[in-house]
A and B are shown apart, each in its own frame.
Chain A
Amino acid sequence: GENVEQHPSTLSVQEGDSAVIKCTYSDSASNYFPWYKQELGKRPQLIIDIRSNVGEKKDQRIAVTLNKTAKHFSLHITETQPEDSAVYFCAASINTNAGKSTFGDGTTLTVKP
């Protein structure tokens, strides 16, 4: 089955700096890669996603890049703010079975004011 590895497990940055979280996947059939943000005590919520026919996607301060050849994808957050502090999860799935997502172990991001 699919295996998703996520790094780093914890990340601390100064407000205004950029943060990058990286994930690798094992199944070359995977073609949908969402990112979820989970604030303390809350449910995970989708923040951005990318499909395998796209190399990069951006939404304001958040961007995701995908390298299908290397089987890795990354989340980039620019101009970080304290409210970006949360646990971030990457996931991978095959579109025909999008519910069968495999999640990374999560990255705890702390943005220091």
Chain B
Amino acid sequence: EAQVTQNPRYLITVTGKKLTVTCSQNMNHEYMSWYRQDPGLGLRQIYYSMNVEVTDKGDVPEGYKVSRKEKRNFPLILESPSPNQTSLYFCASLGLQGPQKLFFGSGTQLSVL
């Protein structure tokens, strides 16, 4: 089954404690992206990657890091989380050759205390 898998589904942490949210897709998609969703603000892009070792900033990259060492994985790293990073995070992927349809993961609800 084609899917984008995010882990964990829920995460509660404290300010300053480094964390990683994993994202993996099994569709051999070139493109992967991270979004955060906050009430009334829609989906805002954090970082995206057009292929292995190619990453670029989205609209709200501050406080986040990403890496794309393998085509299937695109982890989101928060080196020093702060309360304003409490949000719902979605990973998504897209195949650049086919229909321009973003496949979303199931989301990670992050709370930074």
* A contact set with B: CB distance below 8 Å: 1, 6, 9, 32, 34, 36, 42-46, 49, 89, 93, 95, 98-106
Contacts and interface: CB of A to CB of B under 8 A. Distances in A.
Interface residues of B, number: 23
B106 A43 contact: yes
B96 A98 contact: yes
Interface string B26-63: 00000101010000111111001010000000110000
Contacts of B41: 105
Given A43-B106, A44-B102, A102-B59, 10 more contacts: A34-B102, A43-B105, A46-B101, A49-B100, A99-B31, A99-B50, A101-B102, A103-B35, A103-B44, A106-B43
7 contacts: A9-B40, A43-B105, A49-B100, A89-B43, A99-B33, A102-B45, A103-B35
Interface of B: 31, 33, 35, 40-45, 48, 50, 58-59, 90, 94, 96, 100-102, 104-107
Contacts, number: 56
A93 B100 contact: yes
A88 to B, nearest CB: 11
Given A43-B105, A98-B94, A99-B94, A32 B42 contact: no
B104 A43 contact: yes
B96 to A, nearest CB: 7
